[in-house]
Amino acid sequence: MAVCVAVIAKENYPLYIRSVPSQSELKFHYTVHTSLDVVEEKISTAGKAMAEQRELYLGLLYPTEDYKVYGYVTNSKVKFVIVVDSSNTSLRDNEIRSMFRKLHNSFTDVMCNPFYNPGDPIQSRAFDSMVSAMMVQSS
């Protein structure tokens, strides 16, 4: 489904970024990096409106020619970004939501690990395999 999955820390540096190996990794770095602008904008505007009821799912951040970039922000301001191929029209909003939910759950597990130092890059194998599963389904 996804071609790139990224977890970005509260301070906007990447905790985890993984993309399908077929394409240039740097390109996705750029894509995810620039998408943060939109994420920040969405948080700042939505944050004012309804602080507590804010939906975590941010929806489509922006479409590019080849990809669609979706965002999700946890309450602790950790951002998830999923990039999917534009050609993949079978994906509905609901499916993207469920992917984010899965990602969030897995991330929560990572945070629950007492040996994980918040702010460090995520190296959990469980998280990695979950992300792999997400990406495998697409191809």
Partner 1 sequence: MSVPDYMQCAEDHQTVLVVVQPVGIVPEDQFFRIYKRISSVNQVNVRDTQRALFIRYRHHYPPENNEWGDFQTHRKVVGLISVTSCSSAKEWPQTAERFHGQKELFGSTLYDSRLLVFGLQGDIAEQQRTDVAFYPSYDNCPDVEKRVEDFVESIFIVLESKRLDRATDKSGDKIPLLCVPFEKKDFVGLDTDSRHYKKRCQGRMRKHVGDLCLQAGMLQDALVHYHMAVELLRSVNDFLWLGAALEGLCSASVIFHYPGGTAGKSGARKPSISAATDTGKRHRPGAQEVLIDPGALTTSGISADTSSEIGRAKNCLSQEDIIEKYKEAISYYGKYKNAGVIELEACVKAVRVLAIQKRAMEASEFLQNAVYINLGQLSEEEKIQRYSVLSELYELIGFHRKSAFFKRVAAMQCVAPTIPDPGWKACYRLLLETLPGYSLSLDPKDFSKGTHRGWAAVQMRLLHELVYASRRMGNPGLSVRHLSFLLQTMLDFLSDQEKKEVTQSLENYTSKCPGGMNIITLPDGLKLPPVPFTKLPIVKSVSLLNLPASLRPHKVKGLPGQGVTSASPFIYSPITLHSRGDDRTKKIDFQWVQGDVCEVQLMVYNPMPFELRVENMGLLMSGVEFESLPAALSLPAESGLYPVTLVGVPRTAGNITVNGYHTSVFGVSSDCLLDSLVGVKSSGCTVEVVPSLPRLQLSTSLPRSARLCGEDLSSSVCLQLFNGETQQLVITLENIGSETLNTLEMSSKTLTTKEKLFGDFLSWDLQDALSRLPLKPGQAVTVPVDIHAKLDFSGQENLLQDLNDDGISVTGLPISSPLRQVLKPRPENKQVNADTSKSEYNHVKTLEAVLNFRYSGGLGQVEGYYREISLGVKVDVEPSVFFTRVSTLPASSTRQCHLLLDVFNPTEHELTLTARNQQLILHSSECQRMAIQVDKFDFESLPMPSHDVLRQSSLYQQEEERQQAHGGQINSTLDLRWNIISFSCQLLSSLCSSGEASVEGVLTQLVLEHMQLAPLQWDVLVNGKACDSDVVADCKVGDAVPLEVKLTNRSKSPVGPFSLTVVPFQDYQNGVQNSELQDVVTFIGSNSFYIDSVSPAGNSTCVGALLFLYTGDFYLSIKFQDDSVGRDLPPASFCLPSVHVRAQEPVEVAA
| Positions in the binding site for partner 1 (CB under 8 A) | 9, 11-14, 25-26, 29-30, 33-34, 36-38, 40-42, 45, 62-63, 119
Q: Nearer Cβ to partner 1, position 25 or 93? A: 25
**Rounded least distance, CB 99 to partner 1, Å:** 23
What is the rounded distance in angstroms from the CA atom of residue 27 to the CA atom of residue 30?
5
Classify the C-alpha dihedral 118-10-69-97 as positive or negative: positive
Return the CA Rg of the chain. Answer: 14
**Rounded least distance, CB 33 to partner 1, Å:** 5
Q: Which residues contact 55 (CB under 8 A, 6 or more apart)?
A: 46
Q: Nearer Cβ to partner 1, position 30 or 126? A: 30
**Rounded least distance, CB 8 to partner 1, Å:** 9
**Rounded least distance, CB 107 to partner 1, Å:** 17
Q: Nearer Cβ to partner 1, position 45 or 139? A: 45
Q: Nearer Cβ to partner 1, position 54 or 102? A: 54
Residue type, 24: S
Q: DSSP letter string over 8-39? A: E-TTS-EEEEEE-TTS-HHHHHHHHHHHHHHH
